[in-house]
A = this chain, B = another copy of it.
């Protein structure tokens, strides 16, 4: 289907070059069609960009719902919440590490740097709910009763994982690599897991100290 191909290529081009950097001619050519079909299907470049954002929201949802799922019959105590947190971040780290997911993850990162209507759609669609759920899990896992603190912690936790994409170039330079290998990803994920536990433990200790 032309529309589907068009969207995939749009996500890739917009992700790697940004809205202004990508050209509708190039996108159409790569999709094997004429530029005017972008006008026909999406009304223009901006419409294509928003449609790409919507598709990203769907993709994100599809990729993340499984680790977000609560296993049947599990009581959500602190330990269970922590397990889910690890599962979610492990999945996120895989997406941030793999080259296949570079396009849409970069698209989202670009939108964060200069948020527009596309960010509203992505965040409002699924991303916002996911992060809020994650913050709730952090609260449950640590016994933290202050939602604001739990949210701040959640973003610092996410930052570690997002660095796989947002600071990829630094990562590669520092490790002396051209690309992340399986062993690199393994070690990074192990470090992230250890960090999550260390941070959650320290928050838990803080909460108990206050009580």
* Contact between chains at B156 and A187 (CB < 8 Å): no
How many of these chains are in the complex? 2
Count of interface residues, chain A, beta-carbon cutoff 8 Å? 59
Interface SS majority for chain A: helix
Q: Does A198 contact B (CB under 8 A)?
A: yes
Question: Using Cβ atoms and an 8 Å threshold, which residues of chain B touch A167?
Answer: 112, 155, 158-159, 162
* Complex CA distance for A166 and B168, rounded to whole angstroms: 13
Interface on A for B, CB 8 Å cutoff? 16-21, 106, 109-115, 119, 123, 127-128, 131-132, 135, 148-149, 151-163, 165-171, 173-175, 187-188, 191-192, 194-195, 197-199, 201-203, 206
Other A-B pairs, 16, CB within 8 Å; known A113-B166, A153-B191: A111-B169, A113-B168, A123-B169, A128-B174, A152-B175, A152-B187, A156-B160, A156-B163, A156-B188, A156-B195, A157-B160, A158-B163, A158-B167, A159-B163, A194-B202, A198-B199
